[in-house]
Amino acid sequence: MVNWHFPALIAKDYLVVVKLDHVLGGVYIWEYVTSLDYEWSVLTGKRPYRWTVCVYTLCRLSALVAWAVLFAGLDSTGSINCRAWDTTFYTFAYISLASASFILLLRIYAIWERNVPVTGFCAAAWLASIALNIRSIAIGRSHHDPTSGACLNTNTHRLLTNAIGILVSDLVLLVFMLAGIRRCREARVFDLWKLLFHQGIAWLVLAAVGEIPTVIFVSFNLNGGLHAPSVLPAVC
């Protein structure tokens, strides 16, 4: 039987997570740089300014800061304050995720033609996910592991409610987005459903799929190496 708490195995699992984080971080940085033309077109007046651009920019910048904080801790050769590091990282990561979900909430509001019950339910799911994110930051704990030389989360099973809650809230948005797109398609309202499919559904499906491994690992609570701070594909 595998001893998941064996120091050498923890260090090995941690190294796998670190490599995965660097790959995903590289993908995000590439995506960020290659899509800067949108912000630039708004700044230069080629595109009309709308207040939602601020939410969009907040989402992207907070994700970029989260990656920078993550890499600074993962690649550090000296000792760091683990509590301060993962609190800073998760704060910016959750701001990015909340901003992205808010953009989707606005789209749901539009395609459901300002339907109050639907929008209210989706807004409640969005607010619940924010509350769970704040809770995870408040109760999350990490310590410096001398074997791997890294900051590892402790008592990750306490975060299971948060992981499941975020996954469920994204699934709620996904279901209502799909239902709304179907309504638009049947009503033949322009080609809005195509735009939303490429810009909204694809993102949300990837985010939901990316959260499933997190729920599984937190459920099993195998070792701290597998629960090292990571945004996984969600922020990507």
pLDDT of residue 121: 92
Q: How far apart are CA 236 and CA 225, in angstroms?
A: 21
Q: Which residue has the tokens 């890499």?
A: 71
Domains annotated on the chain, with CATH: 7-235 (1.20.1070.10)
pLDDT of residue 157: 64
The pLDDT of residue 232 is above 50? no
The pLDDT of residue 124 is above 90? yes
For the whole model, what pTM was predicted? 0.80
Position 2, amino acid:
V
pLDDT of residue 100: 83
Position 46, amino acid:
K
Mean pLDDT in residue range 28-50? 84
Higher pLDDT, 174 or 134: 134
The pLDDT of residue 39 is above 70? yes
Q: Which residues pair with 154 in a beta bridge?
A: 141
Residue 228 burial (C-beta neighbours within 10 Å; 0-12, 13-18, 19+): buried
Residue 230 region by backbone torsions, left for phi larger than 0, else alpha for psi between -120 and 50, else beta: beta
Is 119 within 8 Å of 104 (Cβ atoms)? no
Q: How far apart are CA 148 and CA 225, in angstroms?
A: 8
